[in-house]
C-alpha cells in the first residue's frame, strides 16, 4: 500500500482510540499502513474476520492483526494481535481515521478559478476546488470539501465536513447533511420525470419540491436523485447508495438503508429503515416497503411489503394480460402443491 501515516501510531494508541485488547505484542510497537493479510508487512495493520482466510492468516507478516477471539489461534504464535468482537467493523473505523490522517496536506480555501456568489455563506475551513460554481444564497458549512467542477445551485446547503467529489451537481434548494460523501458524476435535484398526456403530446409538470439528504450519507458515482414534484425527495441519515442508482421524485428512504448498484426506485415509493436492496432491483412507484426488509438482487417489486423479512423474485417479459394470469397462478402454486400432496396421500400415485 502506497499511502503511509506521516507519524506512525503505536499499538497502545490504536487500542486506546478504537478499543479491543492487545493480546500479543509490544504496546510501544508502531504501524504506519494498512494492508490485506497476504501483503501486510511489519509496519501494517491487517484484519481477520472470517474462517475462510485462515490460510492467509497462517503466513501473515503483519505488524498487528485485528481478530476475533474465536479465530485468534489461526495466527502464527508471534504475530501481534488485537482481539475485537467484530474485526471488520474495527477495521472500518480504523480505515476511516487512517484515510484522513494519511492524506497529503491540502491547500484548503477557495481556488482562484472557483466562482462563488457574493451572498453565498462559507463556513470555517471549507475547501472549494477549481472550476466550482456556487450560486446565490448557498450555504457551505464548516469543513466541507468541494472537488473540482462541483456545482451548487441557489439556496442549497452542504453540511459540515461533507465531501463532494469532482463534478458533482447539486441543483437549487437541496440539502445534504453533515459528514456525507458524494462521488463523481452524481446529480442531486434534477427534475423528476413528470409529464401529463395532452392529446398525442406530453406536457411537462414543473418539479417544485426539493431533495433532502440526511447526515452520514454516502452516495456513489453517477447516481440520479430527482427533486420532488410538490413534496420533497428524502434520504434518511446513514444511508449508503452504490453507483448508478435512480431515485425518482418524491421517494422517501428511511435511515440506515443500503442500496447496491443499478437499483431503480420509481416515483413516490416509500422505503422504511434498515432495508437492504440488492443490485439491479426495480421498485415500482407509489408503494411502501416496511422497516427491516432485505430484497435480493434483480428482483422486481410491484406490491407493497408490509412484513419484515427477505424477498426475491422476478418474472420473464410477456404480454401484460398473460403476465397477470401467470402471476395469479404463481401466487397459488404453494396451495396447489399442498392439494396435490393431499390427493396423492388419499388416492395414491394414480391421483396424479
Q: Known catalytic residues? A: 249
With contact defined as beta carbons under 8 Å apart, do 194 and 176 qualify? no
Query: Look-up: residue for cell 461533507?
Result: 162
The region, left, alpha or beta by phi > 0 then psi within -120 to 50, assigned to residue 189 is: left
User: Strand, coil or helix: what is 123?
Assistant: coil
Q: C-alpha grid cell for residue 55?
A: 490460510
Query: Residue 251 class from Cβ within 10 Å (0-12 exposed, 13-18 middle, 19+ buried)?
Result: buried
Evaluate whether 260 touches 243 at the Cβ level (below 8 Å): no
Cα–Cα distance measured from residue 53 to residue 64, given in angstroms and rounded to the nearest whole number: 16
**Grid coordinates of 290:** 416496511
65 touches 75 (CB < 8 A)? yes
Length of the chain, please? Answer: 352
C-alpha grid cell, residue 326: 401467470
Cα dihedral sign for 297, 240, 131, 174? positive
User: What pairs with residue 52 in β-bridges?
Assistant: none
CA distances from 320 to 81, 206, 272, 314, 337 (A): 60, 31, 29, 14, 26
Amino acid at each position: 500500500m502506497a499511502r503511509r501515516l506521516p507519524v506512525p501510531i503505536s499499538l497502545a494508541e490504536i487500542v486506546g482510540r478504537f478499543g479491543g485488547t492487545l493480546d500479543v505484542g509490544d504496546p510501544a510497537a508502531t504501524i504506519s499502513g494498512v494492508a490485506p493479510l497476504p501483503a501486510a508487512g511489519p509496519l501494517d495493520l491487517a484484519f481477520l474476520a472470517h474462517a475462510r482466510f485462515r490460510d492467509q492468516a497462517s503466513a501473515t507478516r503483519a505488524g498487528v492483526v485485528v481478530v476475533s477471539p474465536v479465530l485468534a489461534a489461526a495466527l502464527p504464535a508471534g504475530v501481534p494481535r488485537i482481539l475485537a468482537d467484530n474485526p471488520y467493523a474495527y477495521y472500518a473505523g480504523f480505515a476511516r481515521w487512517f484515510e484522513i490522517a494519511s492524506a497529503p496536506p491540502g491547500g484548503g480555501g477557495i481556488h482562484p478559478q472557483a466562482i462563488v456568489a457574493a451572498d453565498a455563506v462559507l463556513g470555517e475551513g471549507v475547501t472549494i476546488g477549481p472550476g466550482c460554481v456556487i450560486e446565490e444564497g448557498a450555504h457551505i458549512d464548516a469543513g466541507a470539501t468541494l472537488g473540482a467542477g462541483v456545482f451548487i445551485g441557489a439556496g442549497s446547503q452542504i453540511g459540515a465536513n461533507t465531501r463532494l467529489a469532482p463534478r458533482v451537481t447539486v441543483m437549487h434548494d437541496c440539502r445534504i447533511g453533515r459528514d456525507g460523501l458524494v462521488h463523481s458524476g452524481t446529480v442531486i435535484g434534477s427534475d423528476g420525470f413528470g409529464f401529463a398526456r395532452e392529446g398525442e403530446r406530453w406536457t411537462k409538470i414543473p418539479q417544485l419540491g426539493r431533495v433532502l439528504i440526511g447526515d452520514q450519507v454516502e452516495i456513489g458515482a453517477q447516481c440520479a436523485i430527482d427533486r420532488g414534484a410538490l413534496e420533497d425527495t428524502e434520504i434518511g441519515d446513514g444511508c449508503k447508495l452504490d453507483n448508478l442508482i435512480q431515485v425518482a421524485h418524491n421517494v422517501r428512504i428511511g435511515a440506515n438503508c443500503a442500496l447496491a448498484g443499478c437499483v431503480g426506485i420509481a416515483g413516490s415509493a416509500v422505503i422504511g429503515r434498515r432495508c437492504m436492496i440488492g443490485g439491479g432491483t426495480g421498485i415500482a412507484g407509489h408503494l411502501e416497503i416496511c422497516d427491516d426488509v432485505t430484497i435480493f438482487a434483480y428482483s422486481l417489486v410491484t406490491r407493497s411489503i408490509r412484513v419484515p423479512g427477505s424477498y426475491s423474485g422476478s418474472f420473464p417479459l410477456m404480454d401484460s394480460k398473460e403476465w397477470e394470469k401467470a402471476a395469479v397462478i404463481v401466487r397459488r402454486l404453494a396451495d396447489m402443491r399442498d392439494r396435490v400432496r393431499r390427493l396423492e396421500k388419499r388416492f395414491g400415485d394414480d391421483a396424479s
